[in-house]
Amino acid sequence: MKKSLLTLLEKTLKDEDLLALSHLYLYRAMDVEQILSYVYKVDNETTSDKRKRTVIKKRLTENGLVTISTYNPGKEAFQITNKGIDIVRYARDLPKEVLDDNKQVKRGYYTAADLNLNPRLINHQVHLNQIMLEFGELARKIGLPWRYYDEKFLSGYSGIRPDGMISILDHDLFIEVDMATESRAQLIEKWQHYRAFVHSEEFRNKSRKIIVLFDVDNIVSKNKKRKRVQLVKQTIVEAFLDEVSDGIDIVVKPKEDLLSYIFESLIPRILNKNSDENNTLRILEESGWTLSYGHQLNKVLAGDFYNYFIRKLDNDGQVIKFSGTLQEYFLDFYLDEEISVLHRIENFNRNSTLFKEAYGRGIRLIIATKNIDSLFEDLSLLGKKILGQPNIFIIDLNKMSPKDELFQNLFTLGVNGEVYQITSRDHSRQEFRYQIGKTDLKNKSGRIKEVKKRGK
């Protein structure tokens, strides 16, 4: 390294400056506020804070380490220069590989020209980086090892290019940032690219599970945000749902909900410590149910499987019958609106037929959720072929009573959001409780509005 750069490094720059430069190399463009808040941890409230911010910006810009560009009215972003890259290469550990025009990995470093982003693309990058900055802080609090790859640095996959990827435990989390600007047709095109990817040899040979985290961003209104989430899900249903398998899943949420999903649900589930799931399984075991992982039925169901296979067995290991009905179910958890569960629900008719062909008997499905309203909204995306279908039942984990028998905790959904509670062991009787979206009926949920009978 040039002597002038060594002098600058030794006499002028601080550790935070080097951290900021490494962030700019890895994240390409960052809002000035992101750098000052997350790297330098300087607020903007007091005169002293504002003076510190001015000094930091001056040190980085006047020494030619960064450029500043305006990407939105009143919004500025830093990008690293070649001089900044030379210093951070020397002082910190950066990835020593680049992708050439043929997507081949070669040793070396990117230049400022390689990393430069047009101002119109910076807003998208800033939103992507915000996810990573918040993720990094949460991960460090719990001591979670992780690695992040911006799309520019993603060499692990050549057949698909998400905006970014986080590697944790045995999972690769693809990040797709949606600024609510893509049309329905563009969203479908995105899922068609994923469809091609899952048919590739690269996907078949992978060793890690992929979860696509689709961040619905750039919308303030909660109502509009939810509508956008449902639009994205609808395009997945139309273009990709049948290909969502054990090796790949999709979760569509706003940023704040995605981070909660990762740390409060996904990581505990990977580690077998998801409290909602474990509490439900404990209640079932204490009630005499035998639990098995559903993966053992993977071949029987031609590649599909449900989270669990639960049965009540007699002393000889045979499935018990109550009122002529075998006490066994598939059990799936729909706690975070995972698209893979919608796939398995849609495939239930096919899978129950395959099960019957293999074992000579039928099977029922239970979906455990903490939000029946959201489940109904998502099942509505699949059309009327699912809602009202026999042998698909729901447990509301918020209301599950360990004192009651399992069938007494089961509900079904009608095509218009009617919620019925099962009242007989053979599941042939059910009582109307309320209708989703109709508060006047929900307030009378203790009253029986109608009774329907269905065959076994």
Per-residue pLDDT band at 435 (split at 50, 70, 90): very high
What six digits make up the tokens of 223? 């109502």
Contact call for residues 456 and 425 (beta carbons, < 8 A) = no
> How far apart (Å, rounded) are the C-alpha atoms in residues 242 and 98?
35
Domain for residue 105, yes or no?
A: no
What six digits make up the tokens of 220? 């303030």
**Mean pLDDT, rounded, for 406-426:** 95
Q: Report pLDDT for 107.
A: 74
Same domain, 189 and 338: no
Q: Report pLDDT for 54.
A: 96
**Mean pLDDT, rounded, for 148-165:** 94
Domain for residue 111, yes or no?
A: no
Same domain, 267 and 126: yes
**Residue 135: pLDDT over 60:** yes
Contact call for residues 385 and 402 (beta carbons, < 8 A) = no
Structural domain of residue 306, as residue ranges? 274-453
**Residue 277: pLDDT over 80:** yes
Same domain, 335 and 238: no
Count of H helices and E strands in the chain?
17, 21
Q: 208, 238, 271: which is the final residue of a domain?
A: 271
CA angle at 268 for the pair 265 and 270, rounded to the nearest 5°: 105
Question: Within a 10 A sphere around the Cβ of 220, how many other Cβ atoms?
Answer: 6
Same domain, 367 and 304: yes
**Mean pLDDT, rounded, for 429-438:** 93
Q: Report pLDDT for 87.
A: 94
Same domain, 176 and 316: no
Average pLDDT of the chain?
Answer: 92
> How far apart (Å, rounded) are the C-alpha atoms in residues 250 and 269?
16
Per-residue pLDDT band at 201 (split at 50, 70, 90): very high
Contact call for residues 192 and 239 (beta carbons, < 8 A) = yes
> How far apart (Å, rounded) are the C-alpha atoms in residues 160 and 381?
26
Same domain, 288 and 258: no
* Crossing angle of the two packed helices 339-346 and 372-380, in degrees rounded to 10: 60
Domain for residue 227, yes or no?
A: yes
Per-residue pLDDT band at 241 (split at 50, 70, 90): very high
Identify the three-state secondary structure at position 143: coil
> How far apart (Å, rounded) are the C-alpha atoms in residues 90 and 44?
32
Q: Report pLDDT for 102.
A: 66
Q: Say how many domains are in the chain.
A: 3
Domain for residue 109, yes or no?
A: no
Instruction: Render pLDDT for 84-101 as a digit per residue (tens, 0 to 9).
Output: 999 999 998 888 878 776
DSSP-derived letter for residue 313 is B
Per-residue pLDDT band at 456 (split at 50, 70, 90): very low
**Residue 372: pLDDT over 80:** yes
* CATH code for position 35: 1.10.10.10
**Residue 328: pLDDT over 60:** yes
> How far apart (Å, rounded) are the C-alpha atoms in residues 417 and 415?
6
Contacts of 227 (CB under 8 A, 6+ apart): none
Hey, which residues does 367 pair with through a beta bridge? 332, 394
Same domain, 152 and 289: no
Domain for residue 102, yes or no?
A: no
Q: Report pLDDT for 450.
A: 40
Per-residue pLDDT band at 455 (split at 50, 70, 90): very low
Same domain, 252 and 352: no
> How far apart (Å, rounded) are the C-alpha atoms in residues 297 and 101?
44
Q: Report pLDDT for 261.
A: 98
Q: Tell me if the pTM is above 0.75.
A: yes
Instruction: Render pLDDT for 157-183 as a digit per residue (tens, 0 to 9).
Output: 999 999 999 999 999 999 999 999 999
Q: Mean pLDDT lowest for which of 99-103, 144-148, 180-184, 402-406? A: 99-103
> How far apart (Å, rounded) are the C-alpha atoms in residues 363 and 332?
13
> How far apart (Å, rounded) are the C-alpha atoms in residues 392 and 159?
37
**Residue 218: pLDDT over 50:** yes
Q: Report pLDDT for 70.
A: 97
Q: What percent of the chain has pLDDT over 90?
A: 83
CA angle at 423 for the pair 421 and 426, rounded to the nearest 5°: 115
Q: Indicate the pairing of strand 308-311 with strand 97-99.
A: unpaired
Domain for residue 320, yes or no?
A: yes
Domain for residue 113, yes or no?
A: no
**Mean pLDDT, rounded, for 20-28:** 97
Q: What percent of the chain has pLDDT over 70?
A: 95
Contact call for residues 148 and 165 (beta carbons, < 8 A) = yes
Through-space distance between the first and last CA atoms of the chain, rounded to whole angstroms: 79
Q: Indicate if the alpha-carbon torsion angle 29, 34, 38, 40 is positive or negative.
A: positive
**Residue 389: pLDDT over 90:** no
Same domain, 146 and 214: yes
Q: Report pLDDT for 122.
A: 98
Same domain, 86 and 146: no
Instruction: Render pLDDT for 256-270 as a digit per residue (tens, 0 to 9).
Output: 999 999 999 999 999
Q: Report pLDDT for 103.
A: 67
**Mean pLDDT, rounded, for 233-253:** 96
Same domain, 142 and 238: yes
Per-residue pLDDT band at 443 (split at 50, 70, 90): very low
Q: Report pLDDT for 113.
A: 96
> How far apart (Å, rounded) are the C-alpha atoms in residues 69 and 75?
8
Q: What is the DSSP string of 92-141?
A: S----EEE-TTS-EEES---HHHH---HHHHHHHHHHHHHHHHHHHHHHH
Closest CA to 256 of 306, 283, 292, 222: 222
Same domain, 201 and 89: no
Q: Report pLDDT for 106.
A: 77
Q: Report pLDDT for 69.
A: 96
Burial class (CB in 10 A: 0-12, 13-18, 19+), 16: middle
**Mean pLDDT, rounded, for 365-394:** 93
Instruction: Render pLDDT for 106-133 as a digit per residue (tens, 0 to 9).
Output: 778 999 999 999 999 999 999 999 999 9
Q: Alpha carbon of 201 to those of 164, 204, 206: distances in Å?
A: 21, 5, 9
Element housing 72 (H / E): strand 66-72
> How far apart (Å, rounded) are the C-alpha atoms in residues 395 and 54?
57
Closest CA to 376 of 400, 399, 392: 392
